[in-house]
Amino acid sequence: MKRIVTVQDISCVGKCSLTVALPIISAMGVETAIIPTAVLSTHTMFSEFTCKDLTDQITPITEHWKRAGLGFDAIYTGYLGSFEQIDLMIKLFSDFKTEGSVTFVDPAMADNGKLYPAFDEAFAKKMASLCAVADIIVPNITEACFMTGTEYRTEYDEAYVKALLKKLAALGAKICILTGVSFEEGKTGVMGYDSEKDEYFHYCHKKHSRSYHGTGDIFSSTCIGGIMNGLSWKDASVLAADYTAECIRLTIEDPDGNDYGVNFEQAIPMLVERLSK
Ligand code: PXL
């Protein structure tokens, strides 16, 4: 059985970060170790939230794991809260990365042209330094723009996205997967770039009428879970995009659906079924 470690916050209510990564990756048959970076009452898109930082726990946890001889097939980082946490992730990669393992970074910090409330442009540049040492990165277009100093546009063509992917690859990551790429009204999807093969990949599907928080985390968790199940990064991206879209569809159709997160739980059977095919 594969084992991964994922490092992100616990937003107690909000269906994002660890409260989606842990169930999704576990449901995909992959042991999921965690390092919680902070405990928040809700994610930061609520008008108020509490936050207890856990940065001081990261090194004691990883030092114990070294003494215990623990290793991981993948290291997946998500929402991080400070420069210090990013430095600790760079150290985590250098301490735990092995030849066959995958380092996977979701630079969760922005969307729709704006940084999340806790962050500024300097943080985005710091996040770029973590992306530089990762095998696979999965930013959305906003995050990619902040990390590469590119103008954010709501309307763009393939040349703009390809140039953005090249700039991301120039940071240092081997495979860059951009989410929320839409070339056509009513459609959205992903466009990826393998810098070693100089190869692009595009997949699109129906765009739903609403968007929700936490869907980037759902995409990332499914993508790394798929890779741990032996899928190529392209097939894992397709599975992750389809699962995320299905979670959104189910939420829109649910009269009791939350507006802070998606009904990812109800789509887990579809995810597991797709993996067994
Ligand atoms: O990736 C979404 C996310 C994760 N964690 C926290 C957040 C958000 C989005 O706002 O606030 C704490």
Tokens of 145: 């723009």
- 81-106 pLDDT tens trace: 999 999 999 999 999 999 999 999 99
Pocket test for ligand 1, best of 16, 52, 114 (most atoms within 8 A of CB): 16
Is the pLDDT confidence value at 228 over 90?
yes
Q: Which residues contact 139 (CB under 8 A, 6 or more apart)?
A: 106, 107, 131, 147, 168, 176, 178, 179
Q: Give the model's pLDDT for residue 255.
A: 96
Is the pLDDT confidence value at 2 over 90?
yes
For the domain covering 80-276, report its CATH number.
3.40.1190.20
For residue 215 and ligand 1, the question of a CB distance below 6 A is answered with no
Categorize the per-residue pLDDT at 3 as very low, low, confident or very high, splitting at 50, 70 and 90.
very high
State the distance from the centre of ligand 1 to the C-alpha of 17, rounded, in angstroms: 7
Q: Where are the domains of the chain?
A: 80-276
Tokens of 164: 């953005």
Q: Which residues contact 210 (CB under 8 A, 6 or more apart)?
A: 248, 251, 252
Pinpoint the alpha helices (H) of the chain: 18-27, 55-67, 83-96, 121-131, 141-148, 158-171, 215-228, 233-253, 268-276
- 127-150 pLDDT tens trace: 999 999 999 999 999 999 999 999
Q: Which amino acid is at 227?
A: I
If you compute the radius of gyration of the chain from its CA atoms, what whole number of angstroms results?
Answer: 17
- 44-64 pLDDT tens trace: 999 999 999 999 999 999 999
Pocket test for ligand 1, best of 12, 19, 39, 44 (most atoms within 8 A of CB): 44
Pocket test for ligand 1, best of 79, 114, 218 (most atoms within 8 A of CB): 79
- Phi-psi region for residue 29, left (φ > 0), alpha (ψ -120 to 50) or beta? left
CB 26 within 8 A of CB 35: no
State the distance from the centre of ligand 1 to the C-alpha of 94, rounded, in angstroms: 26
For residue 96 and ligand 1, the question of a CB distance below 6 A is answered with no
State the distance from the centre of ligand 1 to the C-alpha of 199, rounded, in angstroms: 31
Closest CA to 39 of 13, 72, 70: 13
For residue 214 and ligand 1, the question of a CB distance below 6 A is answered with yes
- What is this structure's pTM? 0.98
Strand, helix or coil for residue 45: coil
For residue 42 and ligand 1, the question of a CB distance below 6 A is answered with no
Report how far residue 159's alpha carbon sits from residue 170's, in angstroms, rounded to the nearest whole number: 16
Closest CA to 153 of 191, 183, 177, 121: 183
State the distance from the centre of ligand 1 to the C-alpha of 150, rounded, in angstroms: 23
